[in-house]
Structure 1
Amino acid sequence: MFDSQACALAHGAVELAPDGRAVVAVFDSPVATHLLHFAATLGYRVALAEPGLEGLDITANTDIVVTDHDRPELGEVLRDALATPARWIGVMGSPRHPAPHIEALRRLDVDEADIARVHRPIGLNIGSRTPAEIALATLAGLVADRNDRPGGFSFG
């Protein structure tokens, strides 16, 4: 039950990727809007989860991106995401600030190995500042990870 955020995809102008890749943006935010638009134009199935993951078809080809690390339900949403077969789970946030998801997950008695599965920071380090730049860096990082590449300009 994924809804496209991109007009082109809604009109059939973009072909879905054959591997069934999907991106779920958790929490409605400006970054989520850009992320879903960019992902849809690249052929990802896209969905917005606000506030939780209920009713979504999350598979091993789904990448989950939490776009707000200050929400009070952050721990519960991440706990639920970790219980899915999602390929990748990440939370936006600056590496210069504490990672609030760690303590939130510990309070919920989530195993340390599962907590370590949550990526933060996310995306390629391109100096992103605007919501569109953050979304671009995040999606580029997801594409690089999916293709087993380091990202950036290293072609080794």
Structure 2
Amino acid sequence: MLRLAVELGFKAVLVEPDEVRLQGTPRPHGDQVVHDLAAADLDEGTDVVLSDHHRAEIGVVLKEALAARTRWIGILGKPAVEGPHVAMLRELGVPAAEIGRVHRPIGLNIGARTPAEIAVATLAGLIAERNGRPGGFEF
């Protein structure tokens, strides 16, 4: 997703809190790698995509992204199942209206199954959103 995002005009920032996960893996093609959201300079023009919906810290990360008043926030996951992020955000005292700002699933409904297809669907959805187009988000 990072590689394609850069080609599509996005400033791609990988936020990986766990430095151990980055050891032994090639540096992703993107603008930068940081270890926390504060270093990512979030603002009202920022789109946030969480690609790992089973990590323990997603509630805290999403709460920070919501507080930064980012433009768009999404997390990967199946549309038929409530994501674990919902309970995590409730536990952190995040109001329901703010939790509702987190899109799930993310990306266009193109039947994406592989990581590359999911990346294309996600980025196409962000382009549609950026351009004020409906883009086919309905599932």
TM-score per shorter chain, which class? Answer: 0.7 to 0.9
- 1:14-25 correspondence to structure 2 within 5 Å: none
Runs of 4+ aligned structure 1 residues displaced above 3 Å come to none
The two structures have a TM-score, normalised by structure 1, of 0.73
- The unaligned stretches of length 5 or more in structure 1 are 1-34
SS in 2 for 1:89: strand
Instruction: Indicate the SS of the match to 2:40.
Output: coil
User: Helix, strand or coil: the match of 2:73?
Assistant: strand
Deviation at 1:96, TM superposition (A): 2.4
Paired residue type of 1:41? E
Match in the other structure for 1:53: 37
Other structure's SS at 1:135 match: helix
Structure 2 alignment gaps of length 5 or more: 18-35
How far apart in 1 are the matches of 2:103 and 2:94? 15
Q: Find 1:102's aligned residue among 86, 90, 105.
A: 86
Instruction: Give distance in 2, aligned partners of 1:114 and 1:97.
Output: 19
Query: What is the deviation of 1:47?
Result: 0.3
Q: What is the CA-CA distance between 1:54 and the residue it aligns to?
A: 2.7
2:20 alignment partner in structure 1: none
Identity %: 57
What's the counterpart of residue 120 of structure 1?
Answer: 104
Amino acid at match of 2:71: R
SS at match of 1:45: coil
Which TM-score applies when normalising by structure 2? 0.81
The number of residue pairs the alignment matches comes to: 118
Aligned counterpart, 1:63: 47
Does structure 1 residue 141 correspond to structure 2 residue 107?
A: no
Q: In the aligned structure 2, how far is the partner of 1:109 from the partner of 1:61?
A: 25
Aligned to 1:22: none
